[in-house]
Amino acid sequence: MQWKVFAFFAVFTAVFVALLWLFQVVLLDTFYKAIKVNEIKSVSNAICSSINSSSLQEELQRVAVDNQICSIVCDGQGNRLYSETAVPNCVIHRLNSWDLAMVYTLTAQNGGSYFERFPQETRQSFTVLDNSLAFVHRQESPEVMISAQLVTRSDGKQLLVLLNSVISPVGATVDTLRYQLIVVSAVMILLGLLLAFLLSRRIGRPIESLNAAAKVLAAGDYDVNFEGEGYREVHELSDTLNYAAHELAKTEHLQRDLIANISHDLRTPLTLITGYAEVMRDLPGENTPENVQIIIDEATRLSTLVNDVLDLSKLQAGVVPMERSVFNLTESVRSILTRYSKLTDYHIVFYAGDDVFVDADELKISQVVYNLVNNALTYTGPDKSVTLRQSVDEGKVRISVSDTGEGIPQEKLDDIWERYYKVDKEHKRAQVGTGLGLAIVKMILDMHGGEYGVRSQEGVGSTFWFELGTVEPDSAAKP
Ligand code: ADP
């Protein structure tokens, strides 16, 4: 990775320097000449279009000064009508009338315009040869450009506009530039390599170290620490990875606890069931309803545990669909409480008020109430009382379940909703639980978009509550 970033920057610098050389040294001459050629052609067109103008002479003067272009305007006989000199030894000003007349004819034969470029020296004794302005090309000599164009004046007379411009050799300039470019290139390459090195370290290094740490994490070591120096994004990435590692560690921890708890929870009732069954088989006098009840209770405990695990995993997998309907929540809570009626030593009270209807999944909401009441019964104090309250406010119904137990420490109030979490890690037989009940409550209420929470005071008791939106009972008739 580091090497790739480095190579990328090195290639980038090389291409940049090569482009600089190409344009500044190799193509400078070509560009310059192309510009000059365009210039003389456009000047010639401009003069032709103002051939009738009274200020033609001034225009020729301006061209001479601004563009260093000499000009002659003559007729078919070679009589000069206008003439302007801009450079010494101008080729066209050495032409006599006969030569001019020849150029006129040549231009006419050439379709009305004529353009020629040749080294200056060869034109010392310029004559029109073989119907062309012949020359021998020699490098590094200034080049002369001749442009001839025929134009018809408004009085019908055809005139020749003959221009002469000199292209100075750029060899010396190129030599200077070449020397400068050698220095610039060397500096550029050095700077480029340095930058490439620094950048590759700054980007590549932290990513490599994150990658190495991620491999350690993938191998199952959740204590790994992701360190991302350098750019903000890398910092954020390492923070996110650290958070993910922390969460994974937490889940693994909770799962380990769960396995320990579940195996304990499974083993205890199973031992009791087997023990009591064996006693009843071997000792006929022990075949009492109390002993049978113990076996039934323990079997129930087992099935609750298995059901909790299954419910939560189904809810998590999202395979249980929501089956909403409008139902009487008050009635539903009441009917759940009747199931506890045989627990005569507990005092369960429900302050309901008027019946309230909600639009929700009745079975799932019953499970919420069931889990909350079960917890309250499990954790309530020696007076064994559990109080349920229903209150309605601004289109919302709140069901709260209070007990008189030991309460939950404030700092643990957030954690109890987590899967497998148990405040009391020491396994008391009386407080058997899977740590899944509240996670199931949370998931079901989240699915309904309902609010929920807990208030607890140590030594006084806890109140768990949830809220759902109320609806009119007759909306039950809705299709
Ligand atoms: P469990 O099956 O262990 O009760 P829950 O998810 O229902 O699992 O509850 C998680 C933990 O929250 C419990 O282990 C218990 O420590 C604490 N808790 C839940 N309800 C109460 C309550 N009414 N009073 C005191 N502690 C409670």
| Concatenated DSSP letters of 205-247 | HHHHHHHHHHHHHHTT-TT------SSHHHHHHHHHHHHHHHH
Q: What is the DSSP letter of 129?
A: B
DSSP state of 473: G
| CB-defined site of ligand 1, < 6 Å | 375-376, 379, 403, 405, 408, 416, 421-424, 433-439, 462
Determine the atom of ligand 1 nearest the C-alpha atom of 464: 23
State the distance from the centre of ligand 1 to the C-alpha of 302, rounded, in angstroms: 18
Atom of ligand 1 nearest to the CA of 403: 23
Report which ligand 1 atom has the smallest distance to the Cα of 406: 25
The gap between the terminal CA atoms of the chain, to the nearest Å, is 62
At 24, list the tokens: 């500044």
**Which amino acid, one-letter code, is at 216?**
V
- pLDDT value of position 94: 86
Condensed to tens digits (0 to 9), the pLDDT of residues 34-89 reads 888 899 999 999 999 989 988 899 999 998 999 889 999 999 898 999 999 888 77
Distance CA 294, CA 53 (A): 125
Cα separation, 217 vs 258, whole angstroms: 22
Domains of the chain: 2-173 (3.30.450), 232-315 (1.10.287.130), 323-477 (3.30.565.10)
Residue nearest to atom 20 of ligand 1 (CA): 375
Ligand 1 pocket test, pick from 367, 416, 445 with the greatest ligand atom count within 8 Å of Cβ, gives: 416
Q: Which residues contact 383 (CB under 8 A, 6 or more apart)?
A: 347, 404
Q: What pLDDT, on the 0 to 100 scale, is given for residue 221?
A: 85
pLDDT tens, residue by residue, 141-193: 678 889 999 999 888 899 999 999 888 777 777 778 878 888 888 888 888 88
Ligand 1 centre to CA of 451 (Å) is 19
Question: What percentage of the chain carries pLDDT values higher than 90?
Answer: 35
- Tell me the pLDDT band of 136, cut-offs 50, 70 and 90: very low
Nearest to 452 by CA among 463, 40, 60: 463
For 230-270, write each residue's pLDDT tens digit: 778 888 888 999 999 988 887 888 778 777 767 776 787 88
- The confidence score (pLDDT) of residue 424 equals 67
Task: Count CB-CB contacts under 10 A for residue 479.
Answer: 2
Over range 215-229, report the average pLDDT: 85
CA of 391 from ligand 1 middle (Å) equals 24
391 pLDDT above the threshold of 80: yes
Least confident window among 16-25, 169-178, 357-366, 407-416: 169-178
In this structure, of 10-14, 315-319, 350-354, 422-426, the range with the lowest mean pLDDT score is 422-426
| CB neighbours of residue 176 within 10 Å | 10
Tell me how far apart the alpha carbons of residues 360 and 329 are, in angstroms, rounded to a whole number: 9
* Nearest CA-CA partner of 23 in 172, 140, 179, 181: 181
Inform me whether the pLDDT recorded for 322 exceeds 90. Answer: no
- The pTM for the full model equals 0.49
Binned at pLDDT 50, 70 and 90, residue 6 comes out as confident
Q: What is the pLDDT of residue 305?
A: 77
Burial state string for 286-321 with b = 16 or more CB within 10 A and e = fewer than 16: eeeeebeebbeebeebbebbeebeebbeebeeeebe
The one-letter amino acid code at 424 reads D
Is the pLDDT at 140 greater than 50? The verdict is yes
DSSP string across 269-306? HHHHHHHHHHHHHH-GGG--HHHHHHHHHHHHHHHHHH
What distance in angstroms lies between residue 213's CA and the mean position of ligand 1's atoms? 37
pLDDT digits (tens, 9 = 90+) for 420-465: 677 765 544 444 566 788 988 999 999 999 999 999 999 999 999 9
329 Cα to the center of ligand 1, angstroms: 24
Measured distance CA(476)–CA(343) in Å, rounded:
34
CA of 368 to the centre of ligand 1 (A): 13
Mean pLDDT, the chain, rounded, equals 84
Residue 404: pLDDT band (50, 70, 90) is very high
Residue 440 CA, closest ligand 1 atom number: 6
The pLDDT of residue 425: 58
Question: Could you tell me which residue, 55 or 419, shows the higher pLDDT?
Answer: 55
Q: Between residues 407 and 429, which one has the greater pLDDT?
A: 407
